[in-house]
Chain A
């Protein structure tokens, strides 16, 4: 159940926050227990009994008031100190000349990732090398979104006109789930994130592979699908490297068939699900910006065949 929880940190950036939360959690539980015990004790010990006399009228004592003002204050000074101490590890300062390693852009409702040095462009599934602190520049193409992968550390808002920077690091290879955390319109629920952490070598070969242009099919259904992709309006919104489709309204589809999910986490990436999505995106993800093109079954079939070749 701890799966994607901040209490299961998998990053040197998430670890200090977990630690702070445990310290504070201990203090919170202790105070809650104290108050609960006092309230329940008073409730039982001082409940009205038959024939009880008028209780003594106690107007208060200044010493006690000072005590329960100062004690919580000192406790808060301690918590504040621990908080300050956490900042350095959880959210290290960014020096002015440090260039971002990845630019991540939030869109309604998908994520775009552009890798600075390799020029790889990925969508929704963001690959990172294990054990390296990457600097991310976070932007938004429309409304406010929020990047949140609990096991890897802090949230950060993607605010249009106000680019933010944060660090991204994973200690171990694996897939880390996250999601957009700032309400961003109709399909906010299906703006999920997958961070795929790989060993340095695997990451390098992934990067190289991303830059390869998938072979364009020249015969059969897939070739017809390729033609449909350019003829219908698909190319107005999507990019497929090596073709004339270069738009950036929807996710880059160059290596679509290799992704784990479709529609930003809505569906598992299988040919059947892809066909379902193409035949009526609005039924799968209502109000998504991709309209229902009312394609024939054959067209859906051909397009699916083509998109499945994009590896």
Chain B
């Protein structure tokens, strides 16, 4: 049995082992099993994705025509603030943490996370933080200051209702949840890898989760500290960000973006990780340039702390400062490009299976490239002076966060859903989902580049009837409806699969990493036994004894 590695994990991880074996609501609420917690993370983010999506649709109805009165300015401003805050903090972050929670212990051959109870804490803090944010609607109005809540608009004189207080408190709670989860994932990856799974053999998803968690650990405390200062201003008459009393409005921006730009990569890097798993498996080829994909992730992480003021090119920091941040921002394009080229090289010469998962991965490659390239135009900051705070920017962030992160998450969900549920999703519905999403997404957002270039600014509840604006906005709104339809197809697919989907089996895609070496869904303690780990692709080695990876030195 020397070839069967020992499975890392405490002897008895569960507080109440019988709970994990049972079913019913209590077995979920009281669970400390990373798989159930991961699923609850995913369900929470799916719920908030629905809420944020409805908010987006309400905005697109209001903006479908010029001078529309569907929403009042107060309602529109609350809704766009909640849409952004929700999608960043209650969708993008938890869906990635949820995927990491479910997958990381399986991918590294562990029984569970390092700290199972801490894991439950971070999940329930997320749920609590989300409810706290939405409670603001019932407590006198949601925040109406935008997701980055610029001072002094966020201060009492200009935002007298409790909306901003709920925003700040909720984000503090969510920040603690993220930090707790980051510590847990870092320790798990550092200490609970199966024997033989060295750092250089980690699946790239795990690699990128690890880098992301380190970034969370460094970035989120900056946000929480600035939120505490904002609360002191609002509740205790502090003046950190109140210029008339000697505070500084720009200080908030520096603090917020010191968190906020690493945050952009925090919600993109794990998506890169999923793409780095999906593309090789469906291309039938090992990832091209593993070391370079991993190292470029570290490069992005380091650079992401040196670029925050590229959100502030219009505030008048002066050319020397602007140039420094422009340099850093442009440099980030290099490691990002390295990734894109390695993914294409992985497809090159492969035998590509166009499953729904792979379609979303290819969609990701193209959509994210558009977002990345328009990003460079902001780094050439005289262009930023024209296009920042316009719909060109709205288009850019959605190509990065939706065309990037969300497309990658869909690729990941189609790929790992059979492992999580034990049943296959319908490929036909999956393809409908993909094509409707791709068309709807580009209808909604591609034309927004032009709206921005025609002078339309973001965050306006309505707009004058200038030439061309009405038509482009109408197309954008129809596209949003198509995206809504695509999400409905996705939900239908999940429901149909859970009811009567084809049984998946352990390894339906002939994939190579450890999560596919156990049953679908995996048992509470994950593995009966592990295959020998002598390379990055232990299941490939098992299936191809004639040509195992370790003979190539990997």
A residues contacting B by CB (< 8 A) are 1-7, 16-17, 20-21, 24-25, 28, 31-32, 35-36, 38-39, 42-43, 46-49, 52, 54-61, 64-65, 68-69, 72-73, 76, 79-80, 82-84, 86-87, 90-91, 93, 108, 142-144, 146, 148, 150, 153-157, 159-162, 164-166, 177-189, 192, 265, 286-287
Contacts and interface: CB of A to CB of B under 8 A. Distances in A.
B330 interface: yes
A55 B77 CA distance: 53
Contacts of B326: 80, 83
B47 interface: no
B316 A157 contact: yes
Contacts of B292: 60, 65, 69
Given A21-B377, A161-B249, A286-B74, A180 B457 contact: yes
Contact of A189 (B247, B319, B463): B463
A17 B386 contact: yes
A144 B389 contact: no
Nearest to A138: B316
B338 interface: yes
B377 A28 contact: yes
Contacts of B370: 32
Contacts of B183: none
Contacts of A154: 314, 382, 385-386
A166 B365 CA distance: 40
A104 to B, nearest CB: 13
Q: Which 8 A/B pairs are nearest by Cβ-Cβ distance?
A: A161-B243, A189-B460, A60-B289, A154-B385, A164-B316, A1-B468, A4-B455, A183-B459
B286 A59 contact: yes
Contact of B73 (A32, A39, A286): A286
A185 B314 contact: no
B492 to A, nearest CB: 27
B467 A1 contact: yes
Given A157-B315, A162-B250, A24 B377 contact: yes
Contacts of B385: 17, 90-91, 153-156
Of A4, A61, A159, A178, chain B has the most CB atoms within 10 Å of the CB of: A159
Nearest to A68: B341
24 contacts: A3-B467, A5-B455, A6-B386, A16-B382, A36-B366, A49-B351, A55-B284, A55-B351, A58-B349, A72-B334, A80-B327, A91-B382, A142-B152, A150-B455, A154-B314, A159-B316, A162-B250, A177-B466, A181-B314, A183-B77, A183-B145, A183-B146, A188-B77, A286-B72
Contacts of B381: 83
A156 B383 contact: no
Given A46-B283, A90-B385, A159-B315, 8 more contacts: A3-B454, A21-B383, A31-B369, A35-B366, A43-B354, A59-B286, A162-B243, A186-B74
Contact of B314 (A58, A155, A160, A178): A155
A144 B345 contact: no
B442 interface: no
B352 A7 contact: no
B458 interface: yes
Contact of A65 (B150, B249, B289): B289
Nearest to B313: A155
Contact of B249 (A87, A108, A162, A189): A162
Nearest to A285: B73
Contacts, number: 274
Contacts of B369: 31-32, 35-36
Given A69-B334, A72-B333, A186-B77, A21 B315 contact: no
Where chain A touches its partner, the secondary structure class is mixed
Nearest to A42: B347
A177 B468 contact: no
Contacts of B468: 1
B365 to A, nearest CB: 5
Nearest to B292: A65
Of the listed residues A16, A68, A153, the one surrounded by the most CB atoms of chain B closer than 10 A to its CB is A68
A46 B382 contact: no
A258 to B, nearest CB: 21
Interface residues of B, number: 91
Contacts of A76: 330-331, 333-334, 376
A28 B369 CA distance: 10
Given A91-B382, A143-B153, A55 B350 contact: yes
Interface string B283-299: 11110111110000000
Contacts of B244: 160-161
A286 B73 CA distance: 7
**Which of B244, B459, B460: most chain A Cβ within 10 A?**
B460
Contacts of A90: 382, 385
A57 B285 contact: yes
Contacts of B344: 35, 38-39, 42
B288 A24 contact: no
B472 to A, nearest CB: 9
A39 B347 contact: yes
Interface string B450-477: 0001110111111110111000000000
A227 B57 CA distance: 49
Contacts of A83: 323, 326, 380-382
A214 B77 CA distance: 40
B348 A142 contact: no
A24 B326 CA distance: 14
Nearest to B296: A69
A4 B454 contact: yes
B541 to A, nearest CB: 11
B428 interface: no
B158 A42 contact: no
B89 to A, nearest CB: 19
Interface centre among B244, B327, B340, B457 (most CB of A within 10 A): B457
Contacts of B383: 17, 20-21, 24
Contacts of A58: 285-286, 288, 345, 349
B552 A59 contact: yes
Contact of A39 (B250, B342, B366): B366
Nearest to A47: B352
Among A16, A24, A25, A42, residue most surrounded by chain B Cβ atoms (within 10 Å)? A42
A55 B285 contact: yes
